[in-house]
Amino acid sequence: MTTAPGHAMDTPPLLIDRHPAGYAVLTLHRPQAMNALSRDLMAALADAVDALEGDPAVRVLVLTGAGRAFCAGLDLKELGSGTGTLGRGDSGVADKDPVAALGRFTGPVIGAINGAAVTGGFELALACDVLYAGTSARFADTHARIGIAPAWGLSQKLPRTIGPYRAREVSFSGRWVSAAQAEAWGFVNRVLPDAELLPAARALAEDMCGALPELLRHYKAVIADGYALPFGEALALERARGRAFNTRITADAIESRREAVRERNRGD
């Protein structure tokens, strides 16, 4: 377990746990403030994700929170004191954007959502590729109540995930969405007992690390880029990128991978 660079060991805003299987767990570590996004935490998270993107030994990330919450959103106490800033309309500090950093990470990001994920914390969750939730998890969008406009993607990602009618209900009211409701609406993959949440996320990360690193990155990119296109254009994108990728594959490589898959199936 390591801490984010440049922060005191006694109060690190972010914990980084690299696993030899090829993944890292990032833990938001301000439990006394429900992991609210202070300037320091946002900078630590953005810097850590960018650094891990440059580390070939880390292919998958797991993002979770310490204590009883995933993330309570922006640190309103810091903002209200004038020591924080909303920057240039980016829902956070001007120069350190953790959601943009997560978007730059070319491998899968698994969100392990423990407790409340509120507003900016909700947006962090939606920046992940797969969401596992503990039974204690709950989500709320309070932008309209606080008076801060969303700029980390919530207003566009949530309607595309659960439909515009449900998204408007959630965002215009600020009401809580339980883990069970989130699973039923389709923006949480599965709900687990809280004690099983992180082990399950780690197990999924390890399974993902068993995939070919270059194809894992290819698959993530083609899903994300294709989803932003009309269906016909997305199929053409998949076909073009697939052909370009597959021209580099040799018969020997296919045979060795086929044997590895057979070995894994025998073990299962």
Residue 235 pLDDT: 98
Residue % of the chain over a pLDDT of 90: 80
Q: Mean pLDDT score of the chain, rounded to an integer?
A: 90
pLDDT tens, 172-194?
999 999 999 999 999 999 999 99
Residue 102 pLDDT: 97
Residue 185 pLDDT: 97
Structural domain boundaries of the chain? 2-209, 213-267
What ranges in 105-212 are assigned the alpha helix state H? Answer: 120-126, 143-146, 154-162, 164-173, 179-185, 194-209
Quickly state the pLDDT bin for 92 (edges 50, 70, 90).
Answer: very low
φ and ψ of 38, to 5 deg: -75, 170
Residue 217 pLDDT: 97
Q: What's the burial of 61, exposed, middle or buried (CB within 10 Å: 0-12/13-18/19+)?
A: buried
| Residue 54 reports pLDDT greater than 60 | yes
pLDDT tens, 3-17?
665 454 468 999 999
Q: Does domain 2-209 have CATH number 3.40.190.10?
A: no
